[in-house]
Amino acid sequence: MSSRLARLAVIATGAGAFSGLFGVGGGTIIVPLLILWLGYEEREATGTSLAAIVVIAAMAAAAQGLYGNVDVGKAVLIGIPAVGGVVAGTALQQRVSSRVVAGCFAVLLVVSAILLVV
Amino acid sequence: MDGGDLVGALAIGFAAGIVSGMVGVGGGVLFVPGLVLFLDVSQLRAESTSLLAIVLVALVGAWRQRGYDNVRVRDGLVVGLLSPVGVVVGTGLANAVSERVLELSFAAVQLYFAWQLAQRARRSAEG
């Protein structure tokens, strides 16, 4: 096995575990490691990460579905506005500096983390 | 669910999509709190339901990014197809631990992600 393939396999396993455990896609593992280990440029890493996430999240959703944990109606309810958001987000990424947006989301995340815990 | 909760869920869904497109994640880091806080779902069910919403968003996001020539399809598929061992371990663990442990560890993931975003913002400010 080439070292490149080995690195992709490690990224895949880490992202899969993260995805299954936390209900996320695993991009937070994939993006930095593609940049760090495989020399990806940032936009290419984010695009490639999204492609990997389609497969990973589909498998993790199927696995959680077997446990009877998936609420399809609510997934659609929150997923539909997100599809609009992702089209806007990818277009924005090509045009503007991500600095302000990244800063805003960082604040949003801290707030929702606090709300979840209390 | 009242009207305010519905608006909240739709707004956080839209925000999750934007963060997904801009930073290449699935948006789960916002779907999960959106489902818990606005749609009254338990942490475990929220995480599981989030995964299904992510499939939809990542599919559209990857397609858009492909249009901008930012996707190395082969590497993306390799990472996806090699993930099942991790997925089985992760979902098994999520179903084994208590709701409280899941809540706390998810909050830790959010803080880590916030830190990553802050670093990114700082880097692009310098660059």
- Sign (positive/negative) of CA torsion B24, B112, A98, B119? negative
On the question of pLDDT at A24 being above 70, the answer is yes
Average pLDDT over chain B reads: 91
Using alpha carbons, list the distances in angstroms from residue A27 to A52, B4, B19, B84: 9, 30, 11, 16
User: Which residue segment(s) compose the domain that B27 sits in?
Assistant: 3-126
Lowest-confidence pick of A8-12, A89-93, B38-42, B75-79: A89-93
Position B115 scores a pLDDT of 86
Can you read off the two tokens belonging to residue A6? 């080995």
- Regarding whether A101 and A66 lie in a shared domain, the answer is no
Closest CA to B57 of A48, A16, A81: A81
Which residue of B9, B26, B39 is in closest CB contact with A25? Answer: B26
In this predicted structure, the answer to whether residue A117 has a pLDDT above a threshold of 90 is: no
User: Residues A73-97: what's their mean pLDDT?
Assistant: 89
Among B40-54, B93-107, B111-125, the minimum mean pLDDT is found in B111-125
Q: Which of A35-39, A52-56, A90-94, B103-107 bottoms out in mean pLDDT, i.e. has the lowest?
A: A90-94
Look at residue B33 in the predicted model and tell me its pLDDT.
93
Is pLDDT at B41 greater than 70 in this prediction? Answer: yes
Mean pLDDT for the stretch of residues A87-116? 78
Give the distance from residue B102's alpha carbon to the nearest chain A alpha carbon, in angstroms.
Answer: 8
Mark whether A65 and A90 lie in a shared domain.
no
Best probe of the B interface among A95, A104, A109, A115, by most B CBs < 10 A, is A109
Position A93 scores a pLDDT of 77
- What is the number of structural domains in chain A? 2
For residues A26 and A65, state if they share a domain.
yes
Based on the fold, state whether residues A92 and A116 are members of the same structural domain: yes
Angle at A76 between CA A54 and CA B78, to 5 degrees: 5
Q: Between the CA of residue B108 and those of A87, B10, B114, what are the distances in Å?
A: 28, 24, 10
Residue percentage of chain B with pLDDT more than 70: 96
- Least reliable range by pLDDT among A9-23, A44-58, B1-15, B89-103: B1-15
> 3-state SS string over chain B?
CCHHHHHHHHHHHHHHHHHHHHHCCCCHHHHHHHHHHHHCCCHHHHHHHHHHHHHHHHHHHHHHHHHCCCCCHHHHHHHHHCCHHHHHHHHHHHHHCCHHHHHHHHHHHHHHHHHHHHHHHHHHHHC
Q: Are residues A110 and A90 located together in one domain of the fold?
A: yes
The mean-pLDDT minimum among A93-107, B17-31, B37-51 falls in A93-107
CB of B84 within 8 Å of a chain A CB? The answer is yes
Residue A50's pLDDT is 93
Residue type, position A1, single letter:
M
Contact flag A48-B89 (C-beta cutoff 8 Å): no
Asked whether the beta carbons of residue B78 and residue A97 sit closer than 8 angstroms, the reply is no
Looking at the 3D structure of chain B, how many domains does it have?
A: 1
Residues A60 and A89 occupy one common structural domain: no
Nearest-CB residue to B52 (from A75, A103, A106): A75
| Residue A89 token pair | 């987000």
Whole-number pLDDT of residue A1: 62
Q: How confident is the model at residue B122 (pLDDT cuts 50, 70, 90)?
A: confident
On whether both A81 and A60 belong to a single domain, the answer is no
Which residue, A70, A86, A105, sits at the end of a domain?
A: A70
Are the Cβ atoms of A76 and B79 closer than 8 angstroms?
A: no
Contact B47, B25 (CB under 8 A): no
Touching check for B7 and chain A: CB below 8 Å? Answer: no
Task: Say yes or no: A60 and A105 in one domain.
Answer: no
Residue ending a domain, choose from A32, A54, A70: A70
Residues 1-20 of A with CB under 8 A from B: 5, 8-9, 11-20
Q: Do A107 and B56 touch (CB under 8 A)?
A: no
User: What backbone phi and psi angles, to 5 degrees, belong to A71?
Assistant: -105, 100
Does A30 lie in the same domain as A46? yes
- Say yes or no for a CB contact (<8 Å) between B90 and A85: no
Question: Do the Cβ atoms of B21 and A98 come within 8 Å?
Answer: no
Last residue of a domain, one of A52, A70, A88: A70
Whether residue A114 has pLDDT greater than 60: yes
Examine the domain organization and report whether A5 and A58 are in the same domain. Answer: yes
Residue A48 has what DSSP assignment? H
Q: Are residues A25 and A37 in the same domain?
A: yes
Please give the residue range of the domain that contains residue A7. Answer: 1-70
* Band of pLDDT at residue B126, cut at 50, 70 and 90: low
Suggest the residue from B74, B87, B116 to mutate for an interface test with chain A (most A CBs closer than 10 A).
Answer: B87
Residues A62 and A29 grouped into a single domain: yes
Q: B51: distance to nearest CA of chain A, Å? A: 5
Q: Which helix or strand (DSSP H or E) is residue A28 part of?
A: helix A27-38
* pTM (2 d.p.): 0.89
Interface predicted TM-score of the whole assembly (ipTM), two decimals = 0.90
pLDDT at B24 over 80: no
